[in-house]
Amino acid sequence: MGILNLKIWALSSFLISATTALPFGASSSTCNQTTLSDAADMYIAAQTAGNPDSLQPILSSGFSYQENNKVLDIKKSVLTKPLKIEHRRTIFDLVLCATYTEVIAPAAANPYVIGTQIRHADDGKVVSIDSIATTTNSWLFNATKTLEYVKAEKWDPLPESQRSPRAVLQAAGDAYLDMWSNATADKAIPWGTPCTRLEGSAYTGKGKSDDSCKPGIPSNHSQAPNTHRRYVVDESMGSVSIFCVWEHMMMAADSHEFRLEGGKLRYVHTMTECGGKVCKL
């Protein structure tokens, strides 16, 4: 048994003994992947059926639903529209006990690209569902095109050697979102090559080794900031999801998901919705 294996073994046996040492009747309140994954799957099933009622058993008493940065009755939400989901990817944050799921439903009758952060309480119940739901009129929206690009990308779990600590992932995402309001923020971004940005349905790269995410970054750093940020971080996927208010474009509801590979920015996915109006700068 190597040193690392020994450490992992020692740590897990500590965790097991800590769990089994709980007083009789007390329940462990540690966030776990099964709870997060089951809830994300139920969310996908509810969206596919167009029926949020099926989520009721897992919602906490203080549950709140938010869509495009506005609190909304879940019974009047996008979850009431049956969507033909052709892509979903969920990332898991066991520290914040939350998930982020990217959803693409391109069918012409009801095209949507949705980002959803689901947060859980210690008992596993869902305390909030927070969605950025983009459709026709949203920034650079074309779900068919988005799907084509996303399907061609590789977002497998990263080998240990390619992972970054959660603080590094979050700082990279924050620095990126700071570029609109901070003239030196771009210096703090671990730019990588290749790097591909999927902004709505607009793609900056075609997979060439010299592709960069720098084309089109803000040159005006005196714009209104991106505020009210909410995070989900997954080290194994190298990903951070950040929702915010895109103040400099019609106070839009915005989702950015970043992926770092080996500490360098590899992918950026964005979704931006402008209160049902046509998004324009």
Binding residues vs ligand NAG (CB under 6 A): 32, 34-35, 123-124, 142, 144-145, 175, 178, 182, 184-185, 187-188, 220, 222-223
Phi/psi for 274 (5° steps) reads -115, 55
Of the pair 67, 273, the CB lying nearest ligand NAG is at 273
Of the pair 28, 54, the CB lying nearest ligand NAG is at 28
User: CA–CA distance from 29 to each of 19, 22, 63, 92, 219 (Å)?
Assistant: 10, 11, 18, 17, 47
Contacts of 20 (CB under 8 A, 6+ apart): none
Of the pair 132, 177, the CB lying nearest ligand NAG is at 177
> Which of 159, 149, 175, 151 is CA-nearest to residue 238?
159
Min. distance of Cβ 80 from ligand NAG in angstroms? 25
Exposure string of 250-270, with b = 16+ CB inside 10 Å and e = fewer, is bebbbbbbbbbbeebbbbbbb
Of the pair 6, 33, the CB lying nearest ligand NAG is at 33
Min. distance of Cβ 263 from ligand NAG in angstroms? 16
CA distance 227 to 242: 10
* Residue nearest ligand NAG, Cβ-based: 124
Of the pair 154, 187, the CB lying nearest ligand NAG is at 187
CA distance 130 to 110: 20
Min. distance of Cβ 6 from ligand NAG in angstroms? 24
Tokens linked to 172:
């990279």
Min. distance of Cβ 185 from ligand NAG in angstroms? 4
Min. distance of Cβ 193 from ligand NAG in angstroms? 21
